Amino acid sequence: MTALTHERPEIMSEAPAEPLNGPDLDEVLWQAWRAMELPEGYRAEIIEGAIEVSPTGRLSHAQIVNRLRNRLVRFLGEGEHAAYQDTNVVHGLKAWIPDVLIAPEDLESHADEEGLGVAASAVSLVVEVASPGHRDLERDRLRKRREYARAVIPVYVLIDDYDGQGAVTLFTSPRPDQADWEDIHRVPYGTEVTVPEGPAKGFVIGEAITGPKRN
């Protein structure tokens, strides 16, 4: 794998953040999230002690997500794992909706207790495609990075049109105690990066998925 090791996207902070909520607030947020009815085109997640509502991505976002998932489906073939979109990942009283995730083909045996999504412990890879705007970028570059590490999801891939001329950052070896990752590899668009472990081991992310460098 060709990679630039331990480089961070431009606005990425090094300081891990601890959620400020306690058990009571966690439960309140969970019940509020469960009861939410959103208009079409919006989604809600519980991220670091807050419910965050965001619209679905613009066209360029959808193109990258669809190219990625289609290629993952072919790569995984008829095996025991599959690629999913628009699926809740549940960890305790937290819930996230990655742009793409890999989990077992049989999700029923890995559902959370209420059947609202797949348990984070069954997820081997999550992918986020960054959206423009300071808060949206901060969510994928910082808050979700920390939450996925806390949940010990083995691989996090961030595809970021807004990091320089575009970059892919591969996070592996989560350290939940630090809400961060042991191994971080960032490559600019135009350079291939290979998933090093799990059901998608050997899967290559390059221009065929991201498109060329942005001007």
Closest C-alpha to 109, from 80, 83, 150, 85:
80
Q: Which domain holds residue 133?
A: 4-11+21-210
Distance CA 124, CA 103 (A): 6
pLDDT reading at 3 higher than 90: no
Q: What are phi and psi of 59, to 5 degrees?
A: -60, -45
Domain-located, residue 16: no
Q: What radius of gyration do the chain's Cα atoms show?
A: 16
Percent of the chain with pLDDT over 90: 79
Domain-located, residue 90: yes
Mean pLDDT computed over 66-82 = 96
Give the end-to-end CA distance of the chain in Å, rounded to a whole number: 25
Helix ranges (H only) for 77-206 are 134-138, 144-150
Least confident interval from 47-51, 55-59, 153-157: 55-59
* pLDDT tier, 113 (very low <50, low <70, confident <90, very high otherwise): confident
CATH assignment of the domain containing 89: 3.90.1570.10
Q: What is the pLDDT of residues 135-176, one digit of tens each?
A: 999 999 999 999 999 999 999 999 999 999 999 999 999 999
* pLDDT tier, 112 (very low <50, low <70, confident <90, very high otherwise): confident
Dihedral in degrees, nearest 10, Cα atoms 151, 154, 157, 158: 30
Query: Which residue do the tokens 């060329």 mark?
Result: 212
Report the number of distinct structural domains present in the chain. Answer: 1
